[in-house]
Amino acid sequence: MQRAEFLAVAAVLAMLAGGASAAPELAPPRHDKPWYPGASVQDFTLPPRPALAELPTTPAIDLAHRHTLPELIDIAQRSHPATRIAWIDARNASTAAGIAHNSWLPRLSATVLAGAQHRRGDIGGRFLSVETERSGHASIGVLSLQWLLFDFGERAALGEAAEQAAMVSNIGFTAAHQQIIEAVSLAYYAHGAARARVEVAQRALANSGQVLDAAQARHAQGIGTVLEVAQARQGQAQARLASVQAQGRERDSYHALIAAMGISPLTPLQLAEAPAPRLSLADEAPVERIVAEALARRPDVQAAHAALQASHAGARAAEAARMPKVFLAASASRSGGASVAALPGLSQDGPTLNLAGSGSGAGVFVGVTVPLFDGDTRASAQRQAQLRIEAAEARLDRVRQQAVLQVVVAQDALRSALAAYEAAEALRSTAATTHDATAEAYRQGVGTVTAVTLAQTQLLEARQVLVDARAAAQSAAVSLALATGGLGAAPP
């Protein structure tokens, strides 16, 4: 009877083990054949999943309102995934710091066990064999307390390291917002320049139409030639092509602005005109003071410094880990019909007791744990902590050097952009005067269509240079504000 039961159990276990080893084949059949679950196809398109066919959500905004740059930045800060990710990371780091501080509190756990046991056997001799059978049940309940009383500052150091890590995440959250402000501002100014280039191209197209009308009128009066009319038509065609290309670049810049804001590309935003730039270097501070203020305010410098402080705290924790620890342990238990020396559990930290029969008990203990030998593990941890300090110091030096370089480069770029803007304004003024005079002379029968076309081309180029110089000056001011760590809101 017992042999039959044993064979049945062994057969069931063998079947389970055999089924566990039969893994399904989920990989593609060949390296050059398409993969498609449950069917055979001839191309490399994936099967559609209707559950994924969900359009991105559109932010709750007034689609008829013309949004200014501060309003666009506000929408981006509320909608961009980067700000949510940085916020979640900061919350996660704050939770980790809370976990580190919770190590000062005692650990209280309860364990309850209940079970039954059945045993069958034979007691046999030379002339007599007796079959025996025994069954029983038992229950155990244990309440245990563990409290680390003193550890030579290890928990305090770990808590400080966690706080500094949370500080790094909080600084990263601020840096994410500054980067969003910069990205939206640069995209907004680029889109404004693209819109201005569309207007310039349309004005050039209108001027080319006037030149064509004048050429046709001169030809009708007998003072013009067919070549002049053909040249005027060519100029109009070139102006129309430039207008179409400018409109395409304007749409591209709009998509870039939407991407910088982190909202759905299907959102039809109305944009307000950017105000005229109010940029000047008249009140520019010395570069040394600008660099010093930037080093004290930039998020990357502050984050690198906080990471260095966390490394120092980690080194103190590694040193304290080699010291003794004083702890308190207490337990209260009650058992019925059980005789055990230790309680099984899900971890290795379960209480160890000696319970026999039925009864209850309690105990309080104070102990000291002294690490004697661990195969040089703690000493290696100390060396690693010191290396982390050296690496953090090197990263801080590198970040400071990069910050100084970025500030100096951004300041020079702004100075050059402002000078280019002033020169472009003067060029546009002189080109407009030349164009108006040449066009009027041609209408009065003086001059050639070649001179008019050249003046028109030069005016178009001058206006485009002015538009680009204006956007470059505004963008350079934003980049300098970011480099100095002062880009906390929309630029004025």
Instruction: Give 476 or 12, the one with higher predicted confidence.
Output: 476
SS3 track for 15-59: HHHHHHCCCCCCCCCCCCCCCCCCCCCCCCCCCCCHHHCCCCCCC
Cα 120 to Cα 134: distance, rounded to the nearest angstrom: 6
Pairing mode, if any, of strands 66-67 and 270-271? parallel
User: 279: pLDDT confidence band, cut at 50, 70 and 90?
Assistant: low
User: 225: pLDDT confidence band, cut at 50, 70 and 90?
Assistant: confident
User: 351: pLDDT confidence band, cut at 50, 70 and 90?
Assistant: very low
pLDDT above 90 for 246? yes
What tens digit of pLDDT does each residue of 79-110 get? 999 999 999 999 999 999 999 999 999 999 99
Residue 306 C-beta-side C-alpha neighbours within 13 Å: 19
> Cβ-count burial of 188 within 10 angstroms (0-12 exposed, 13-18 middle, 19+ buried)?
buried
At residue 441, the pLDDT reads 86
At residue 258, the pLDDT reads 94
pLDDT above 70 for 122? no
At residue 230, the pLDDT reads 92
pLDDT above 60 for 483? yes
At residue 237, the pLDDT reads 94
Cα 216 to Cα 206: distance, rounded to the nearest angstrom: 16
The mean-pLDDT minimum among 216-220, 255-259, 322-326 falls in: 216-220
Instruction: Give 428 or 56, the one with higher predicted confidence.
Output: 428
Task: Give just the sign of the alpha carbon dihedral 483, 485, 488, 492.
Answer: negative
Query: 362 — alpha (psi -120 to 50), left (phi > 0) or beta?
Result: beta
Residue 258, φ and ψ in degrees, nearest 5: -60, -40
Q: Hunting for tokens 């870039």 — which residue is that? A: 256
Cα 298 to Cα 171: distance, rounded to the nearest angstrom: 9
Instruction: Compute the average pLDDT of residues 295-310.
Output: 96
pLDDT above 50 for 32? yes
At residue 121, the pLDDT reads 65
Q: Which of 20, 37, 110 is nearest to 332 (CA)?
A: 110
Instruction: Give 295 or 334, the one with higher predicted confidence.
Output: 295
Instruction: Compute the average pLDDT of residues 399-421.
Output: 94
User: 345: pLDDT confidence band, cut at 50, 70 and 90?
Assistant: very low
What tens digit of pLDDT does each residue of 358-379 get? 677 888 999 999 988 888 889 9
Q: Hunting for tokens 């049945």 — which residue is that? A: 8
Q: Hunting for tokens 């004083």 — which residue is that? A: 326
Average pLDDT along the chain: 85
User: 355: pLDDT confidence band, cut at 50, 70 and 90?
Assistant: very low
pTM for the model: 0.81
Q: Which of 460, 453, 461 is nearest to 211 (CA)?
A: 453
Instruction: Compute the average pLDDT of residues 107-119.
Output: 81
DSSP state of 275: P
Instruction: Give 284 or 223, the one with higher predicted confidence.
Output: 223
Percent of the chain clearing pLDDT 70 (strictly above): 84
At residue 392, the pLDDT reads 96
DSSP E strand boundaries for 314-377: 325-340, 355-369
Domains of the chain plus CATH, in order, are: 69-105+152-323+376-483 (1.20.1600.10)
